[in-house]
Each structure stands twice: as C-alpha cells, then as structure tokens.
C-alpha cells in the first residue's frame, strides 16, 4: 500500500505525522509527499526523513501552486501500488490507522473506505472547539468523513476522474459524492483514527468555517442546513432587538441562550473550567456567523461565475 500526503508550509506539523507513520502496525510500501509550493522547510524535512529511513520508499514531488485535490491525484497516479491511503500533514495517525483503514479493501469488501478523526486539543480553546464543533464519528455524513483519512483502489479514483482540481476546500466532499453517484460503495472504518488539532483562536476558527461554508456554496452542498441556521439566528435577533414587545424579546433571548448554553454546559462537564461559559458561546457563535457569512459570500461568488478555489476568490 502507498500513503499520499499533500503539503504546503507544514514544517510545524509534518514531523508529528511522519513520526506516527513510523509506528503503524501495517507499514506502507511507499510514502509520497506532494508539496504544493512550500516557502518554509517542509521539503527539506521530507528529504531528511527519506535519507534517515530507507526501509520504505519516501518520495517528494514538488508542484508549484497545487491544492490538495490536485496533489492527491498526482500522488495517487505516481503510486506503484493499487491501494492508496491519503491523509493530511496536520494530523497524528493512530498506530492501527493504515491497517484498519484498508482492511475492508484488502478483503475485497469495498473499493473505498473512510476513517474517523478525533479532536486533540492542548489548550482550553482547542479542547472546547473539539468538544463543541466536532460531531461523533457515527454522526458525520460520509461526504464529510474522508478529508484526512481515506483509502481507495486507484481504479476507483480513475473511475470518477480523480479529485476535482479546481475546488478548495471541500474537494474531498466532491470526490466522495462522485464515488457514491458512480455506484461505488464507501465503507466506514471506525477504528482508523486520525488525531486532529482544532484551530487555536477565534480568527483561525472564523476563517476555517467561513471557508467551509464558502466551499459548500460552490459545490451545492448543505443548502437546507445553512438556511435553517441563518433563519434561526435572524428570528432570535429580530425578536430580541425588534419592536414586538417584552414577551417576544424574552422568548428570543431564551431560545438563543438555550442554543448556546446547552452544549456549553455539556462541555463544562468535561473541562470543569469556568472559562468554558465564556469561551463556549464565543466559539459556537463564531462558527455559526462565519458559516452564514461564508455561505452568502460563496453563493454570490458562484452567481458571478468566479473560481471555486477559496484562496483565489
């Protein structure tokens, strides 16, 4: 099996991924890093890793201005094996990740399988972002499950023409949607865990969820979910700040308060830190407003026929 990882300026996170690959219970034949034009020491780190570890083939492919979809296509087509697993540089892989992720493919049960990602925060903000914003694996729809943990037969990738190379983010959702549309069943590998670090502060969280919602608008996913969220916020704010009377204001405030505090209280039971009651509502509100803003921005951008790459909008 081969492991393909796209990178772009990952000198801080890549060493942890590389170290976790060395602990796998099933070892890959080759590791292919496709760098999209890093300006830091990412490529030097890969070369040093290849020189130090010669018991498997480590290859670096450098491609100027490449996004994850294009990089995964390049890496997969360069692989010498039929089974390819893809991850991202910003995660740590559980020791049984590759074995569990590819089990059903090796057994001939599936041609594609997706794993799970588990939040791993070090600060209170990161821990709360993971507790409040990351759904349990069994509740994550398959279209959103393969971003950092997916394995497939090369023939399955070629059957749908590969990842879209003009979409970012959400290129993984489009790829999985194309696979399902082509009648290719996607297996769920619940034991294939990737440890993923949530964003460390409000500004990074805002950009993350704004870009996700912008991507949803470009590829036509989640419209109902986005409209329901926006409708709820607008109704609550209109009730609180409108001219409908005290009772309506109280009802609006209670509805919004319950929406923000119910998950915050559940998170507090895990943290036992009183700062949770400040950071929790802040994180939830930041995520929601960023998604509303990003989705509207994305819809307008789509109407104008602009690029489907968030970084080139």
pLDDT band of residue 235 (cuts 50, 70, 90) is very high
In tens, the pLDDT along 4-32 reads 999 999 999 999 999 999 999 999 999 99
Average pLDDT over residues 34-60: 96
Asked whether residue 225 carries a pLDDT value surpassing 90, the answer given is yes
Query: Is a pLDDT exceeding 90 seen at residue 212?
Result: yes
Give the pLDDT confidence of 56-114 residue by residue, as tens digits: 999 999 999 899 999 999 999 999 999 999 999 989 999 999 999 999 999 999 999 99
What confidence tens digit (pLDDT) does each residue in 143-172 have? Answer: 888 888 999 999 999 999 999 999 999 999
Report the chain's mean pLDDT, rounded to a whole number: 95
Specify the pLDDT at position 24: 97
* pLDDT for 215 beyond 90: yes
Distance (Å, whole) CA 157 – CA 305:
27
Superfamily of domain 2-196: Spore Coat Polysaccharide Biosynthesis Protein SpsA; Chain A (3.90.550.10)
In sequence order, the β-bridge partners of residue 84 are 2, 152
Please report where in the chains the tokens 């939830």 appear, as a residue.
284
Query: Residue 186 — φ and ψ, nearest 5°?
Result: -105, 120
pLDDT in tens, 237-282: 999 998 889 999 999 999 999 999 999 999 999 999 999 999 999 9
Which pLDDT belongs to residue 65?
Answer: 87
pLDDT grade for 129, boundaries at 50, 70 and 90: very high
Determine what percent of the chain falls in helix, strand and coil, rounding each to the nearest 5: 55, 15, 30
In the chain, domain spans: 2-196, 202-312
Cα separation, 247 vs 264, in Å, equals 25
**What pLDDT is recorded for position 135?**
85
SS (H, E, C) 150-198: EEEEHHHHHHCCCCCCCCECCHHHHHHHHHHHCCCCEEEEEEEEEEECC
């Amino acid at each position: 099996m081969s492991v393909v990882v796209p990178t772009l300026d990952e000198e801080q996170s890549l060493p942890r991924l590389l170290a976790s690959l060395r602990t796998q219970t099933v070892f890959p034949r080759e590791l292919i890093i496709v760098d999209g034009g890093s300006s830091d020491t990412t490529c030097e780190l890969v070369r040093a890793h290849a020189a130090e570890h010669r018991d498997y083939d480590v290859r670096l492919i450098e491609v100027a201005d490449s996004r994850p979809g294009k990089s995964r296509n390049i890496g997969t087509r360069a692989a010498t094996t039929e089974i390819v697993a893809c991850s991202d540089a910003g995660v740590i892989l559980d020791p049984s990740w590759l074995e569990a992720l590819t089990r059903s493919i090796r057994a001939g049960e599936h041609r594609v399988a997706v794993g799970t990602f588990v939040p791993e925060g070090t600060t209170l903000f990161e821990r709360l972002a993971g507790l409040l914003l990351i759904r349990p694996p069994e509740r994550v729809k398959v279209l959103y499950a393969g971003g950092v943990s997916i394995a497939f037969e090369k023939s399955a990738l070629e059957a749908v023409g590969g990842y879209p190379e003009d979409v970012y983010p959400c290129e993984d959702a489009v790829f999985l949607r194309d696979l399902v549309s082509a009648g290719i069943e996607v297996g769920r590998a619940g034991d294939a865990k990737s440890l993923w670090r949530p964003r460390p502060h409000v500004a990074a969280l805002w950009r993350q969820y704004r870009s996700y919602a912008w991507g949803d608008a470009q590829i036509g996913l989640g419209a109902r979910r986005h409209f329901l969220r926006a409708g709820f916020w607008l109704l609550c704010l209109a009730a609180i700040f409108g001219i409908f009377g005290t009772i309506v204001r109280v009802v609006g405030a209670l509805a919004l308060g319950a929406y923000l505090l119910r998950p915050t209280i559940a998170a507090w039971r895990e943290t036992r830190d009183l700062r949770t009651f400040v950071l929790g509502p802040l994180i939830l509100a930041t995520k929601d407003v960023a998604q509303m803003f990003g989705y509207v921005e994305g819809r307008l951008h789509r109407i104008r026929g602009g690029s489907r790459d968030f970084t080139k909008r």
